Amino acid sequence: MNKTLDEIIEEYIELRRQGKVQQIAEYAKQYPEHEAELNGLLPLVADVETMADTGHSHEDEQPMPDFDQEGFHILRKIGSGGMGCVYEAVQLSLNRHVAIKTLLSESTLSQEDIEQFENEAKMIAHLYHPGIVQVYSAGRGGNGLCFYAMELIHGSGLDCMCFNDLRQIAQIGLQAAEALAYAHRCGILHRDVKPGNILLDQEGHVHISDFGLASILNGIDERQPFTGGTLRYMAPERVRDGTCTTSSDQYALGLTLLEMVNEDAAFHAPSLGELKSKILNGEIPPLACNSLELKAIIAKSVSKNPDERYPTLDAMADDLRNFLENRPVNAARPNLAKRMALWARRNPALAFAVFAACMASVFLVLSLIVGYCNTRNALEKSRENAENAELALQKVFSYVEERPPSTSMSKLLSLLLPYYQFSLEQGEQSSEKMLKAWRVIGSHSMRTHDLDLAENAFRNMLVQGETPDVMNSLASIMRGTGRLEEANALQARVLEKYAASSVLSERLEAFLAMKALAEADYGKCDRGKAFDYLEGLLDEEPGNPTLRFQYAKLLDEYGDKLERLDLRKTKVQALQILTDLTARNPEQPEYAVAFLALFERMLKRGVTTIDDEKSVLATDVSERLLMTFHNIPEAVKVAVAFRSTYIDVLRQKQLHVEYIRERERLITLLRGNYFSEDTPNELKEMLLRMQLAQLKWAQKENKPGIERRIKEIREELDFYDGPSKENILKNLE
């Protein structure tokens, strides 16, 4: 008589408890009609049995394994499963805490189990992403146990946590989608995405773990037959015929998010057969949340038809990011009213200003009508509206001042300036408020290279009174536009008026004027005098970050121009100062740009290497510049130059995995801001040319997905109006 699936599982549990443990794969072969189901279910049964048997298990009677000879001292056991254990340990050479994952004794495991374990270590070792648990080393200990050392995560799996904040769930989903998308770009499918394999640390950062069932893709979105994994999170196409694609990883992540929202399993079934039937034919349960956007994102990712899901996990991540930033999501087409509401939530201060301005206009018209009948009431209403508008404008200026530079923001402020100017002329606006408004516009416009707008702001400031910083800023614009005589005359006045000032900040501006005049060979100024003058300022305040920044720049620029300086030593000293300033002041893009530019030049010339500890900081800084300060052309130029040099060094060293990973990361960073209205054409062109080069390589190697890549580039070209558009179109044909 044929046994039912439940009877087979009961038999396996009894054999296990009697110590007659058989390999799961071998045991399942005895029942071919249930083999696939047993291979999926029995590992979970083994895990449960191991955890339930903690009081008298053979495993707990064993002493802690010894990996001291391998450089790891075991501290405690973190957890265990059907195939092995995880321990917290100290890596003796670096004195850092790590997690050690070990296999059970080989006598209790099949060759397939061992290969799966080794496969996991190899897979993760090829990935370097903050959202993926990092492997440090792997091998076989003197005790004969296979092991690998990995990043220790202080947190727990999503299956052990509850969430009631939709934005937190979306943030977790975004991080997980970005990590899995990175793995896909590196050619690796996870194939077992589920809540237990997504760890959340104490800082709220996501880490994808357990790549034991992962596989290498030989082409884009290659379909691979595979029956392993956790049935509950398998996409319908996997359940039907074992098909594994990047889309099936997306489905598993979407189902995880759905269960986080609903706080319940997506499918309930008493047997594996019924569970399969529900996955294939049942309806996805509705989401218990009031956000139509998040509902649409999750629903799209768990569509039964793979073609109706997102084309990539990058696209899913983009939609989750749109949701978190209150932007329209592609999965749900909002109407005009909804788009306006999202825009207002995304830009509350600006929305308030627009609303206030509109209301002020309405009130003004109404007051004029009423004023026709009652002049006094009209005047009072007008005054009240003016005060409301002034308050709104002040909030707009304060909001812009606190944010990274933006061309659109600077132009918006310039449109509001006439009101300030009119108020000043009427005596209703203080000159201090006007100066603050012009300063914000000038600073933002300088950084975004809108020199006409910046010059207009600085000239208006000088009308109210000369200050050395504004005079130097205006002179800098003049030099950039070829008006050298005007610039020299203005900075000579700065030097004459402020060189002997008792105020340190004014003498700093005198130094900047002296340096500019020395480089222009104007008058009696020379580089040696400028260097001595700055050293004198540093003697007064050696810890002043602005003075240290200028000193580092001087060491970098004058290293080969002053005989008293040793070129190599000055570069190293300058880099050290800029490293410290950048690490301590992440909100200052000027420090980051100078540090990255110098490090890139030294890396290109072989003075430093990618193994230098500063290389990690440089990589982080370049990413921050591209993500946060992408509206500053100089920041983008320097960040891309560094990334390109870094990638080239990896290629020269034949570090192919790292080379592909970093090249894909750069493309991802560039694409992240491509569709922003403030992104300059220069940045868009960089991305388009990199994608063209990637496309040519894919065509040469006969890689799949060529038509999709061409379509993506054509869509991006619709948002690019630079001088190279026609040339790029020709290359696509």
More confident residue, 691 or 393: 691
How does pLDDT run across 346-356, given as a tens digit for each residue?
556 555 555 55
For residue 706, is pLDDT > 50? yes
How does pLDDT run across 134-186, given as a tens digit for each residue?
888 777 776 678 888 888 988 888 988 888 889 999 999 999 999 999 888 87
For residue 376, is pLDDT > 70? no
Q: Quick one: average pLDDT of 401-427?
A: 57
For residue 338, is pLDDT > 70? no
pLDDT value at residue 319:
92
Q: Quick one: average pLDDT of 564-586?
A: 80
For residue 683, is pLDDT > 90? no
Give how far the C-alpha of residue 244 lies from the chain's centroid of Cα atoms, to the nearest Å. Answer: 27
For residue 93, is pLDDT > 70? yes
Task: Spell out the domains of the chain, with CATH numbers in brackets.
Answer: 5-57 (no CATH), 63-151 (3.30.200.20), 162-342 (1.10.510.10)
For residue 363, is pLDDT > 90? no
Do the beta carbons of residue 406 and residue 399 sit within 8 Å?
Answer: no
Rounded percentage of the chain residues whose pLDDT exceeds 90: 11
Q: What's at 533, amino acid-wise? A: Y
CA atoms within 13 A on the CB side of 561: 13
Q: Quick one: average pLDDT of 496-517?
A: 88
pLDDT value at residue 413:
59
For residue 336, is pLDDT > 50? no
At residue 313 the predicted structure's pLDDT band, cuts being 50, 70 and 90, is: very high
For residue 457, is pLDDT > 90? no
**Alpha carbon separation from 62 to 58, 123, 130 (Å, rounded):** 7, 30, 35
Question: Coil, helix or strand for 139?
Answer: strand
pLDDT value at residue 290:
83
Q: Quick one: average pLDDT of 87-97?
A: 86
pLDDT value at residue 196:
86
pLDDT value at residue 164:
85
Q: How far is Cα 712 from Cα 702, in angstroms, rounded to an integer?
A: 18
Sign of the alpha-carbon torsion through 32, 37, 43, 44 = negative
Q: Quick one: average pLDDT of 88-115?
A: 76
What are the tokens at 493? Answer: 């006045």
| Sequence-ordered list of residues with C-beta below 8 angstroms from that of 332, at least 6 positions apart, any chain | 292, 293, 295, 296, 297
Question: Coil, helix or strand for 154?
Answer: coil
What DSSP assignment string belongs to 463-528? HH---HHHHHHHHHHHHHTT-HHHHHHHHHHHHHHHTT-S-HHHHHHHHHHHHHHHHTT-TT--HH
Q: Quick one: average pLDDT of 633-656?
A: 85
Q: Quick one: average pLDDT of 359-364?
A: 54
Do the beta carbons of residue 141 and residue 149 sit within 8 Å?
Answer: no
pLDDT value at residue 345:
55
Do the beta carbons of residue 253 and residue 193 sit within 8 Å?
Answer: yes
For residue 216, is pLDDT > 60? no
Q: Quick one: average pLDDT of 524-534?
A: 81
Q: Quick one: average pLDDT of 284-304?
A: 90
At residue 636 the predicted structure's pLDDT band, cuts being 50, 70 and 90, is: confident
Rounded percentage of the chain residues whose pLDDT exceeds 70: 71
Catalytic machinery residues? 192
Q: Quick one: average pLDDT of 7-31?
A: 70
**Predicted TM-score of the model (pTM):** 0.45
For residue 398, is pLDDT > 60? no
Q: Quick one: average pLDDT of 490-512?
A: 88
For residue 42, is pLDDT > 60? yes
pLDDT value at residue 294:
92
Output DSSP code: residue 674: T
For residue 452, is pLDDT > 70? yes
pLDDT value at residue 260:
93
At residue 316 the predicted structure's pLDDT band, cuts being 50, 70 and 90, is: very high
Q: How far is Cα 506 from Cα 467, in angstroms, rounded to an integer?
A: 8
Q: Among candidates 262, 285, 251, which has minimal Cα distance to 162?
A: 262
How does pLDDT run across 58-76, given as a tens digit for each residue?
444 456 788 888 888 998 8
How does pLDDT run across 276-285, given as a tens digit for each residue?
889 998 888 8
